[in-house]
Chain A
Amino acid sequence: MTLRADNRLADAPMTAVHCRRCATQVLVRKSSWDQTSVQWNALATASCIERSTAQRLAAYGGHGSFLRCSELGASIADAVRRGVLPVVEESSPRSGS
């Protein structure tokens, strides 16, 4: 199958965000205040400290699902506050009005 690109990314691509704890770089996109997408790569998952801690704990009977990195979450929130990470629903309708 030919894999196609997400039509939403054409209007507002993802933005690089660094984690304040381990300097991992991921790509982030916020379509609204409530919604966040995060694209990791192999280097980012390998260097995330919270993730490797969670994996070690999972070996002792945890569930094994690493749901989120709280430091990265805070870094993303920070990027929004600093205005370097746009929120799509906030920026796009306003530019048209």
Chain B
Amino acid sequence: MSTGSLHDDVRLIEADAAPNRFARGWHCLGLTRDFGDGAPHQVNAFGQKLVVFRGGDGEINILDSYCRHMGGDLSQGQVKGNEIACPFHDWRWGGDGRCKKVPYSRRVPRLARTATWPTLEQDGMLFVWNDPERSAPPAEVTIPRIEGATSDKWTDWHWYTTVVNTNCREIIDNVVDMAHFYYIHGSLPTHFKNIFEGHVATQYMKSGSRPDIDDPEGVKLLGTTSLASYHGPSFMIDDLTYHYESADQRTVLINCHYPIDANSFVLQYGIVVEKSEFLPEELAVQTAHALGDFVKMGFEQDVEIWRSKARIDNPLLVEEDGPVYQLRRWYEQFYVDVADVTPDMVDRFEFELDTTRPSEAWMKEVEDNMAAKASVSGTVG
């Protein structure tokens, strides 16, 4: 027996280490109501410790949490006026990153400037712009407004936060994973589509209801339509509509994350539900909670897989799998300098699965066509 040839045809898993560079783009840190109370808040993100605080002027600021004086942790300090005061020697830092005052000194040192992150408060959420090149956020990659988020006709945010101990690329891969919707979300896609274009990655899905899963409270669910897009590397808006016999029920599901470091991230999801004559306030809130629990269950199953799986750069795919490689190519644009973004990372790519077309009829048509062609060429030849 030759042991030398045993491994020749073994498929090897290849994987570079998870990058220590963090994605360029807007990242949602959570709900503004949790950050905007006037106290400093510590956020571990992008491999650093940040301090988030709302100054007396109402502005929310994000600074590197370590004081440039002697390294005190500003997130343990106090907000004084529009500034954050270090708990160590009371140095005051403004939202623009400049040291405004050293209470026991007549002047502040030259070059007394610390790192800041651009912020965006929108639809009840707080966003931070990360860019290793430290450029300002371009307008064209801003986060779209969410219709239901600020409307009395919709519920308030129902929000979850949890820490996941793996690199955040794992959650991005879900965009193309069709099969897991059946197993995890109990839906039967009749139409599935991915579109990657520019900084947006979209997943469109139409599902019928599954006969083996009971409808809630005897109301007949005909199916769901989901249009979910990542706007940049980490923030997904899912317009998710439930089609009941009586009416459509609109919901918006946010799925977002920010990296703590190369091997962990904070996963958050939020839900708002439209109220209606069929779904008054209380029922709409219940629906939001129920949907939240359902999503939570799905992610918990994902997390269980992520806990022990290997990072893999060369997944071995069959025709029935989604466009994993094309998605990773799209995702790579956020990990290189703007000048190094190549057309193939941002060019439009579509992957579509439509099971509603009668393929047998089509197949027959093609065969007839080919046969006709063959007979014509036979006559000519």
Roughly how many angstroms separate A88 CA and B318 CA in the complex, as a whole number?
A: 11
Q: How far is the CB of A81 from chain B (nearest CB, A)?
A: 5
Roughly how many angstroms separate A81 CA and B367 CA in the complex, as a whole number?
A: 8
Give A88's nearest chain B residue, CB to CB. Answer: B319
User: How many B residues are at the interface, by size bracket?
Assistant: 35 or more
Contacts of A51-77 to chain B: CB distance below 8 A: 63-68, 77
Q: Which segment of B121-129, B269-277, B279-287, B326-334 sits at the interface?
A: B326-334
Measured between beta carbons, the chain A residues less than 8 angstroms from B325 are 3-6
Name A34's contact: one of B227, B317, B357, B366 (CB within 8 Å). Answer: B357
Task: Name A's interface SS.
Answer: loop
Measured between beta carbons, the chain B residues less than 8 angstroms from A38 are 348-350, 352
Contacts of B223-269 to chain A: CB distance below 8 A: 227, 229, 239
Roughly how many angstroms separate A32 CA and B326 CA in the complex, as a whole number?
A: 18
Measured between beta carbons, the chain A residues less than 8 angstroms from B239 are 63
B152 at the interface (CB under 8 A from A): no
The answer on a CB contact under 8 Å between B347 and A89 is: no
Contact with A along B190-228 (1 / 0, CB 8 A): 000101010000101000000000000000000000010
Name B366's contact: one of A5, A83, A88 (CB within 8 Å). Answer: A83
Measured between beta carbons, the chain A residues less than 8 angstroms from B362 are 33, 77, 80
Q: How far is the CB of B273 from chain A (nearest CB, A)?
A: 19
Measured between beta carbons, the chain A residues less than 8 angstroms from B197 are 40, 45
The answer on a CB contact under 8 Å between A63 and B227 is: yes
Q: List 28 A-B contacts (CB under 8 A).
A: A1-B313, A2-B313, A6-B323, A8-B318, A8-B319, A31-B319, A32-B320, A33-B357, A33-B363, A35-B351, A35-B353, A36-B354, A37-B326, A37-B349, A37-B352, A39-B347, A39-B348, A40-B350, A44-B348, A45-B348, A65-B227, A67-B204, A68-B350, A81-B365, A83-B366, A83-B369, A83-B370, A89-B319
4 smallest beta-carbon distances between A and B, as pairs: A33-B359, A40-B348, A31-B319, A6-B325
